[in-house]
Amino acid sequence: MDIRVVARNAVRPAYLPVMTRKIWSRVTCGHDRERSAARAWAEKHAEDMDAWGNGVDPVLWREGARFAGSLAESARPRLAALAEAGVDLGGGGGVELLYLLTRVVRPSLALETGVAAGWSSAAVLAAMRANGTGRLMSSDFPFFRLPDPERYIGYIVPDHLKSGWSLRIRGDRRNLEEFLRPDTMVDLVHYDSDKTRDGREFFLRRVRPHLTARHIIVMDDIQDNLVFREYAERQAHFRVFAYEGKYIGVTGPGLPAVECR
């Protein structure tokens, strides 16, 4: 990490509070014991995503898999070219899963945190396009280890999908203030930004009054701490899926019912 780039990004007044919180949480770190308990819990509950998706709706699951394949085909060479220039935008959320859930729930309004290259944003936006309805609000914060990091946010999101998309990049705390007005209600939520306990708990508290009666919450990297477990075990149903070496949790009253455990 080039410390001069980090310092240059850190002194911008709009980014300073988020950068300070991030650096502090890296210093204090998470608790190893909590992390192992969270991973063990996720492992114990994990089920096969493919079997579940097929159980929910085999036609839509295949449609999502086709979209994931075509997105990967167009994005991979572009991301590889960036990687050669030393720019790594990291991995993405569960494209097939988000596509399927968006097709099934048919959200009028969805909210996601954590955009980076834009795998998850592209999945939700493409499924909304297929639905013929829906808007997506995305909250992000630039990767502060990169020079001019703003230009990479949503890098792989195809232009033709961007019409129903609102993107804010000043960190979740500020972005959610702008997105979540008193009468804003969301049907689908994808959380993939600040993975600390504090970040997740803040988000769940902040979004709760804005969830419709049929909402779904998708949370990435639930093996990092026990926040998803604590939340999910208070809900009627939840699901856990293993995905590219991590775990994704899904819960909420809109979760499609399918018995394939």
* Torsions phi, psi for 218 (to 5 deg): -115, 130
- For the chain, state the CA radius of gyration: 18
Instruction: Please identify, using beta-carbon distances, which residue of 166 and 258 lies nearer to ligand SAM.
Output: 166
How far is 81 from 73, CA to CA, in rounded Å?
14
Instruction: Please identify, using beta-carbon distances, which residue of 78 and 237 lies nearer to ligand SAM.
Output: 78
Instruction: Please identify, using beta-carbon distances, which residue of 63 and 96 lies nearer to ligand SAM.
Output: 96
- 32 to 71, contacts with ligand SAM by CB under 6 A? none
143 binds ligand SAM (CB under 6 A): yes
Among 68, 109, 117, 240, binds ligand SAM (CB under 6 A): 117
Burial code of 66-77, b = ≥16 C-beta within 10 A, e = fewer?
A: ebbeebeeebee
How far is 182 from 76, CA to CA, in rounded Å?
40
90 binds ligand SAM (CB under 6 A): yes
118 binds ligand SAM (CB under 6 A): yes
Query: Whole-number minimum distance, CB 153 to ligand SAM, in Å?
Result: 7
Q: Which stretch binds ligand SAM (CB under 6 A): 24-32, 43-51, 77-85, 117-125?
A: 117-125
Largest CA-CA distance found in the chain, in angstroms, rounded: 53
Instruction: Please identify, using beta-carbon distances, which residue of 30 and 55 lies nearer to ligand SAM.
Output: 30
Which letter does DSSP use for residue 140 in this model? -
Q: Which stretch binds ligand SAM (CB under 6 A): 51-59, 61-69, 77-85, 188-196?
A: 188-196
Among 53, 64, 171, 249, binds ligand SAM (CB under 6 A): 171
Closest CA to 169 of 12, 30, 3, 8: 12
Query: Whole-number minimum distance, CB 194 to ligand SAM, in Å?
Result: 4
Q: Which stretch binds ligand SAM (CB under 6 A): 28-36, 68-76, 140-148, 249-257?
A: 140-148
DSSP string, 79-139: HHHHHHTT--------HHHHHHHHHHH--SEEEEE--TT-HHHHHHHHHHHHHT--EEEEE
Q: Cα 181 vs. chain centroid, distance in angstroms?
A: 21
Q: Which three-class secondary structure state does DSSP give residue 202?
A: helix
Q: Which chain residues interact with ligand SAM by CB under 6 A?
A: 18, 90, 92-93, 113-120, 139-141, 143, 171-172, 192-194, 199
